[in-house]
Structures are given as structure tokens and as C-alpha cells.
Amino acid sequence: MESILALTFDEFKDRIVDLLVPRYRAAQIYEWIFQRGATTFDEMTNLPVAFRQELSKLYKFPKLEVSHLNSLDGTKKFQFMLEDGHIIESVWMPEEKRNTLCVSSQVGCAMKCAFCVTGAIGFKRNLTAEEIAMQVWAIKCVEKLPLTNVVYMGMGEPLLNIDHVVRSIELLTDKIGIAVGKRRITVSTVGIVPKIREFVAKTDVKLAVSLTGTNNIDRDHWMPINKSHNLEKLTSELKSIPWAEGRKITFEVVMIKDKTDSENQARELAKLLQGIPSKVNLIPYNENSFFPQLKTPSPEKIEKYKQVLLSQGVFAMIRLNRGADIMGACGQLAGQSLGQNA
């Protein structure tokens, strides 16, 4: 049976006509699902009972969140159990001017970044477009938490699930559906070089590239993808893409004490980004029990790194540490546990 979240409004309208009911019924159903947060057809009391029963035979609602955890800083981590028993996580982060949801694009991840708990799980499977969209629908439309931005920075490497990710963006940006603005969506990749051009051609949401290592020796260690898609290949591909006026690529650097936080590395990064329309997000490492040897640098050290970038003409920002106490921070999403094997 098909998920009710798998279709855009226009596609659903056409299906409704096939059922020999008036088109306005589609708008009623969508209002129930996306404005009122209905999770069953039974709740749609302005539809005839027989029609509701027919819809239930054709479409299913996704299973919803199984649990959530609240951080002291207001961050909430949601866990969803999928139909096959796998668990994925999404993290909602309220800030003064925006409320961001970090979504997963795969169950687990094959990229094995050396600082990331998700990478330690290994890869289980790709999420479907509706499983990705479901995370946003559940938080925005059902839980009714305020939501302005969506980042694909949860479990998984989005560009290795490119078709479902691109389709999920169509579902998220459907104005009669989940209705997130295109400019409010960012997809973050480790830099799968052969997929970047394809992705940029298929969608114009924002792109972020996770670097962390600023030379090939360091990056080979932190992000093993570098062994096949090294910094030269990555930056030369990014330089050769004709970016739209004003479009900037965000580069992410995980700041790890005495490993990735030196002023020399900041200078190396500035040099690397020459000729690419870019800005840099510095993400202080979230200490955790899986990698006890990795520590967060002092705020002063991170600030110095940022100042070096600014002095070289590279715009840089320090991201706040969010949700670390609920394992909801960057690189800490692991499903139920490292041992989940559903």
C-alpha cells in the first residue's frame, strides 16, 4: 500500500479524480494531513464514511515517532521506528530567529568518519523519499513545533541516496503539503565528487560540504571518503560548477582539540577555498563516550581559528553546541544504540 506522504498535491488530485469523487476532496484531505495533523482517515469527519474507508484501503499513514528526548537547551531528539524495525533519528533545534530540523537520509552510514557515532553503526539502507518527508511532517504538522529550516545532516550521506533525497525535497517544498521554503533547506555532503554536479542540476537548495581535514593527510584520517575523492578533486569540481549569482557553498569543519583547530589549518583552509563562493561553519566537537579521546577545543581557540579565516577574506561562523546531553548533537545520532541490528 502506498504512503499518503509519497505524493505531491497535484499528483494526489489526479488520483482523486480516478476515484470518481470531486477534486475539492483532495484539498480537504490535504488540509487534514498537513494543517490539522491528522494521522488517520477516520479523523476526517467532513468526508463520507465510505470514502474514508476506501482511502484507508489505498493509502497508509506512516508510523510515527516512538520516543523523544528533551535537552536542557531546548533541543528535542525524535526517534522513529520504520516499518522494517529500523530506527532513525531527527533533531529539532530552536533558536532565537529560526527553528531547524536535522533529518536523516539513510539508516546508518557507510562513510565511517572517524569522529562520528553514526558512522560506527555502518550502513543499513537508504530511506525512501516519504520516510525522509515523514520526519518533517511529524514534527511540523503533527507535533506542531515551529519550523523554519531543514538540514540533511542527520544519519547518512544524502548524495548516496540522491534520487530519494531530490524527491523528498519536492515533497517538503510542496506548497499545499509540508510547505518548507526551498531557500530554507540545506543538504550536507562529505563530498561525493561525481554526484555533486548531478545534485546541483536537479535541485537548487543550499549545499554544504563537510571538510574537517584541511589537507589530504588529515582528511584521509577524519573522513575516509577523501581517499577516493580527495581535496584536489573536490575543490576543482566545485570551482568548475557555474554557481548561480549569490549562491554560496557552506563548508563545515568539526573543531577537535589539538587535531583540527590550529591556526595553520585555518590558513590551509582559506587557501583551499580560494575561487569558491563559500562560507565556513565551525562546529565544536561534541564530546561523547564512544570517542573519549576526542575533546572540544576552548572557545578562545575556536575564535582564533575563525579570526584567521576572516583575516584571509573567508566568512566564518561558530555553530552552537546543541543537544549534546541527549546524544542529539552533530555526529551523535545512532538509533537506539550502536548495537541496533533490526
Where on the chain is the footprint of ligand SF4 (CB under 6 A)?
A: 109, 111-113, 116, 118-119, 155-157, 190, 331
Least distance to ligand SF4, CB of residue 153, Å: 7
| 243 CB burial (10 A radius; 0-12, 13-18, 19+) | middle
Least Cβ distance, residue 16 to ligand SF4 (angstroms): 39
CB nearer to ligand SF4: give 297 or 331.
Answer: 331
Report the alpha-carbon distance of residue 25 to residue 40 in Å, rounded: 16
Q: Is 330 annotated as catalytic? A: yes
In the complex with ligand SF4, the residue whose CB is nearer, 177 or 331, is 331
Measured from the Cβ of residue 144, the count of other Cβ atoms closer than 10 Å reads 10
Quick one: 72 exposed, middle or buried, by C-beta within 10 A (0-12, 13-18, 19+)? exposed
3-state secondary structure of 154: coil
CA separation for the pair 92, 78 (Å, rounded): 8
Short-list 136, 99, 108, 105, CA closest to 5 = 136
DSSP assigned state of 59? E
CA distances from 194 to 198, 203, 238, 246, 335 (A): 8, 16, 11, 24, 29
CB-nearer residue toward ligand SF4: 38 or 327: 327
Residue with smaller CB distance to ligand SF4, 90 or 173: 90
Number of neighbouring beta carbons within 10 Å of residue 241 = 16
Give whichever of 156 and 297 is closer to ligand SF4, judged by the CB atom: 156
Q: Shortest gap between Cβ of 300 and ligand SF4 (angstroms)?
A: 26
Which of 189, 235 has the CB closer to ligand SF4? 189
Stated as kind and residue range, the H or E segment containing 80 is strand 76-81
**Nearest residue (CB) to ligand SF4, 130 versus 252:** 252
- In the chain, the amino acid numbered 143 is E
DSSP symbol at 49: H
Residue closest to ligand SF4, measured at CB: 119
Task: Name which of 250, 272, 251, 260 is nearest 305 in CA terms.
Answer: 260
Q: Closest separation between CB of residue 331 and ligand SF4, Å? A: 5
Smallest distance from ligand SF4 to CB 122, Å: 10
One of 102, 109, 113, 330 is an active-site residue; which one?
330
Active site residue 157: no
What's the grid cell of residue 244?
A: 548561480
Strand ranges in 114-247 using DSSP code E only, listed in sequence order: 123-126, 149-152, 185-189, 206-210
CB 76 to ligand SF4: min, Å: 19
User: How crowded is residue 179: how many other Cβ atoms within 10 Å of its Cβ?
Assistant: 15
Work out how close the CB of 121 gets to ligand SF4 at its nearest, in angstroms, rounded to a whole number.
9
Instruction: Cite the active site residues.
Output: 89, 330
